Amino acid sequence: MLKINSDIKNNNLKQMYLIYGDEQYLKRQYTKKLKDALAGSDEMNVHIYDGKDTKEKTGEIIDLAETMPFLAERRVFLISNSGLFKAGGDALSEYLSEANGTAFFVFTESEVDKRTKLFKTVSSKGYSAEFKQPAKKDIEKWLLQKIKKENMNISESTMKLFLDYTGSDMDNMDSELDKLICYCMGREIITSEDVEAICTRGLSSRIFEMIDFMSTGKTTEALALYYDLLALKEPEQRIRYNIARHMNQLLLAKDMRVRGYDNKKISEGSGIPEFYVGKYLAQASKFKSEDLKRAVKNCVEADEAVKNGRISDRLSVELLIVSALSDK
């Protein structure tokens, strides 16, 4: 991020950039920054390609790149979610090694294979940056800057409550903070009561609370949370998927801690944001490893039962909740 910011600030822009990783908010923000720096308000010379069918348009992209921009310094290509950095990017890699000097490229991908020719070409000729979930201190600094910009402040405990509500999705944090700031406009301090009054709990936060109830045998409360999610129009399939994912993350975190891994390694191995690892480990400690393995197995079986038409989506989640509680 610092390198991209420096390139933009010093007007020392590379001919190609690759932005990749699982942090969607930051990838979108930096793609926009680069687009604005490269093209400004010029839309005529900006070409957008999105999706895996981009592979079939490689020839078209190369032909356009060889065409001089119209009344502008650059022709800019924004290429996202193409899959070219996993397979099928050799032709574009060959072109980029000797690309027309007026053609500039910004690639945005979720997953890449660093062994591919395209990754190596873009990294050597331009710049590649992986965008991961920021550390807790960086998230809090970012949120606090937005709050102080509006001449407001927030306590550490209220910030923690806010993050409990939003989960780790930076898009959700951003939109919920905007709501919170508007709600508190005209006041200097954002309170816990404000967060509770205006912020909406994200799905991951509700799933965490549901599994907390499941860990202590509170069937009624866990089912009530499930029915609340249905009332909020959350699809049963999405709820079932998130329960399965959460249980698997708890199992991985518990196993990795037993084997002596620190929070950073647990985060990398389980997909849990690093600043939430402690919270997940505390929840995992309420389950035996055998319980978590059985819960993960039940999730797989529930998914198969729904696909085979043996049970409904709604009943599948109810059975998952009850089965997890049955031995409590």
Mean pLDDT of the region 221-237: 93
CA pseudo-torsion sign 9, 10, 15, 21? negative
- Close Cβ partners of 234 (under 8 Å, ≥ 6 residues apart): 203
Percentage, residues of the chain above pLDDT 70: 99
Quickly list DSSP for 223-254: HHHHHHHHHTT--HHHHHHHHHHHHHHHHHHH
- How does strand 46-50 pair with strand 153-154? unpaired
- Which pLDDT score is estimated for 326? 53
Contact status, residue 169 vs residue 137, Cβ threshold 8 Å: no
| Start-to-end CA span in the chain (Å) | 47
- Close Cβ partners of 17 (under 8 Å, ≥ 6 residues apart): 4, 34, 105, 106, 107, 122, 126, 127, 128, 129
Tens-place pLDDT, residues 234-290: 999 999 999 999 999 999 999 999 999 999 899 989 988 888 899 999 999 999 999
The DSSP letter of residue 68 is P
- Which pLDDT score is estimated for 118? 97
Tens-place pLDDT, residues 7-24: 999 999 999 999 999 888
Domains of the chain: 2-130 (3.40.50.300), 136-198 (1.10.8.60), 203-325 (1.20.272.10)
Mean pLDDT of the chain: 93
State how far the Cα of 32 lies from the Cα of 34, in Å rounded to an integer: 5
Tens-place pLDDT, residues 43-59: 999 999 999 889 999 99
- Which pLDDT score is estimated for 324? 72
Phi, psi of 127 (to 5 degrees): -150, 135
pLDDT band for position 135 (cuts 50, 70, 90): confident
The runs of H, that is alpha helices, within the chain are: 2-9, 24-39, 58-65, 90-96, 117-125, 136-149, 156-166, 170-183, 192-198, 203-215, 219-231, 236-258, 263-270, 277-284, 289-307, 313-325
- What's the token pair of residue 157? 């405990």
Contact status, residue 326 vs residue 298, Cβ threshold 8 Å: no
